[in-house]
Every structure is written in C-alpha cells, then in structure tokens.
Amino acid sequence: MTLATHYSFSLLLLSFIRKDPSVFLYSFISLLPDIDIKWKKHRGITHSFFASFVILTIFRSTLFFLPYFSHIILDYLTYTPIPLLWPLKGRYALRVVKTGGTVDRLLTLLFLILFLVNYLLLK
C-alpha cells in the first residue's frame, strides 16, 4: 500500500477513538514500519506481528499500536509478502491489492471520505 493509504486508514481508525486534532499526529505512526527502506531491506522485521507488539509494549497505548498494526495488515493484503510471523521463517501475502494500483488509490479515497464523515459529522 502507499503511504497515503496507510495514513488515511490510520486516520479513520483513530477517529473512532478520538475526535481531536491529535489523530493527525498519531496517524504518522502508521508510516513507521517503512523505516526499513533506509536499510535497503524493505518489508523486513518491521512488518511483523512481533514489531507491532514491541510498539504496544513500549508505549502501552492503542494510539500508538493501532496505526502501526494497521500498516502490517494493509501490507499483508498486497502482492509483496511480509514476514508476519517473524522470527519464524516464511513470508505471507493475500495478493488482493496491487501497491499503487487503482484499488489502492480507491481505498485511500474511501478511507478519507469515511474519516471525514466520522470526524466532522459524527462528533
């Protein structure tokens, strides 16, 4: 999924928990798993359940966990496998959405619309 899809989905999820501007900041956490791009080993350990639970253990907050975990789930839907069960070997993908493809872009739009409805209209 694209960064926009991760961010918009995180906004939507967090808007069910909070209805204040902090959701815009917390949603940046959904981009954190892609930090492994810097190490030239994209979709490595940072894309695992293990990493998600490390985030939960360190911060002890759903406001940190949900955005991070949502990134893992969305990337699992793509064609590129991720090491969901790290440290166990194996990489998994549902192969439903092509990253950057039409469905990915439509999902971004859908998530943004749903977020706006929930955040602005359902206060």
Strand partners, 97: 78
Predicted TM-score (pTM) of this structure: 0.93
Q: What is the pLDDT of residues 51-95, one digit of tens each?
A: 999 999 999 999 999 999 999 999 999 999 999 999 999 999 999
Written as one letter, the residue type at 114 is: L
Encoding tokens for residue 108? 């971004």
Residue 11: pLDDT band with limits 50, 70, 90:
very high
Q: What is the pLDDT of residue 105?
A: 98
Encoding tokens for residue 93? 């993908």
Measure the CA–CA gap between 90 and 57, rounded to whole angstroms.
24
For the chain, the domains span 3-121
Encoding tokens for residue 24? 């815009």
